[in-house]
Amino acid sequence: MTYDVIVIGLGGMGSAAAYHLAARGQRVLGLEKFTPAHDRGSSHGGSRIIRQSYFEDPAYVPLLLRAYELWAGLAADSGRDVYRMTGGLFLGPPDCLTVAGSLRASREWGLPHDLLDGKEVRARFPNFTPHPGDVGLYEANAGFARPELTVRAHLDLAEKAGATLRFGADVLDWSESSGGVTVRTPGETFTAGQLVICPGAWAPQLLAEFGIPITVERQVLYWLDPVGGTASFVDHPIFIDENASGAQIYGFPAIDGPRGGVKVAFFRKGVECTPETIDRTVHDHEVREMRDRVAELLPALDGPCVHSATCMYANTPDQHFVIARHPDSERVTVACGFSGHGFKFVPVVGEILADLAISGATAHPISLFDPRRLVTTR
């Protein structure tokens, strides 16, 4: 059978693309190396922050506003609790990226927010002890998404819309001809008119001919048991804290029950790896470093680590995404290099990829994600 579109990779972005394509009547084949909603890449770990006051660049805000609409639609259509609004607190020195960038995006797009001094932070959120001179920006329209539930929801809806999904299908290679695209897996070959590639940490291998510089980085997630229990962390905002040296940590409410702990992590504090060489063991010294850092801000989190996990970031040099048609092809679309901050965009990226695969263009503002900005010679 020849398909309209083949989607390689059914993690966060690929599952959303498969759904949006199938919902528009496309004959879709989705190919995934692992099992549905697996824990070998980047779309796992129980929670991902969603927020609109985007310190990375205000240019992301229109996509976030549309993503929020699609998050609500996904929850309604799937009947799953794929996201939850908790509010978000972004802390640090007034001129740091986390605070100043969030404030810039909020003001530029008229987003509701509260700017709090340290005393106000402590009064509203007693678990926090900001450093002297630090301030906080509070955004009510922030919260978290559930990555595994989100992937499963998109996969289920894609199948209901007629998509064919194959798991344990390791893509060996893909090629293009005048008649379409061909994708090979061990023992099978598939053809289609269009190809969408969402390779995650496998981008360097699957997209080598693009010349896009992508570095894969190991990241560690920690669930700490608060001193005194999780009760005070249940009704609690997500948070991002930046210290005077520019290092960021982030965390969540207690969302996994009394014995589930509170999830925290460093942001961009990893080591370069590949999917084949990543160290999946979380070491004692890493746990100690995390506890010491987060306890400065949240003293109650100086408790034991009840769980830990690893994931991978696929980083571009400027930490902006790559979402585009292949520069030399009208049949191939790619989405990669989400650099550790992409999951909140999953529903709208799926919509964008469907636009590009079907018509070659999208009304969404994606010029920031053109891969040509990263490739000096081809």
Cα(344)–Cα(85) distance, integer angstroms: 13
Residues in the chain: 378
pLDDT tens for residues 351-363?
999 999 999 999 9
pLDDT band at 377 (very low <50, low <70, confident <90, very high): very low
Go through 278-298 and write b for each residue having 16 or more CB atoms within 10 A of its CB, e for each that does not. beeebeeebbeebbebbbebb
Mean pLDDT of the chain: 96
pLDDT band at 211 (very low <50, low <70, confident <90, very high): confident
- The answer to whether 81 and 87 are in contact (CB under 8 A) is no
What is the predicted pLDDT for the residue at 378? 44
Half-sphere exposure of residue 361: CA atoms within 13 angstroms, side-chain side: 1
pLDDT band at 161 (very low <50, low <70, confident <90, very high): very high
What is the predicted pLDDT for the residue at 125? 98
Go through 154-184 and write b for each residue having 16 or more CB atoms within 10 A of its CB, e for each that does not. bbbbbbebebbbeeebebeebeeeeebbbbe
pLDDT band at 376 (very low <50, low <70, confident <90, very high): low
Name the β-bridge partners of 263: 223
Q: How far is CA 236 from CA 46, 117, 144, 252, 260, in A?
A: 16, 18, 12, 8, 15
Q: Which residue spans within 209-337 are E strands per DSSP?
A: 215-224, 238-242, 248-251, 262-267, 271-272, 305-315, 322-325, 332-336
Cα(114)–Cα(148) distance, integer angstroms: 32
Whether 337 has a pLDDT exceeding 50, the answer reads yes
- What the chain holds in terms of domains, given with CATH numbers, is 2-44+148-210+318-373 (3.50.50.60), 73-144+215-315 (3.30.9.10)
What is the predicted pLDDT for the residue at 177? 85
pLDDT tens for residues 57-74?
999 999 999 999 999 999
206 sits in which H/E element: helix 203-206
Cα(326)–Cα(275) distance, integer angstroms: 24
Mean pLDDT of 248-275: 95
Question: Can you give the pTM of this predicted structure?
Answer: 0.96
pLDDT tens for residues 79-126?
999 999 999 999 999 999 999 999 999 999 999 999 999 999 999 999
Whether 194 has a pLDDT exceeding 90, the answer reads yes
- The answer to whether 26 and 362 are in contact (CB under 8 A) is no
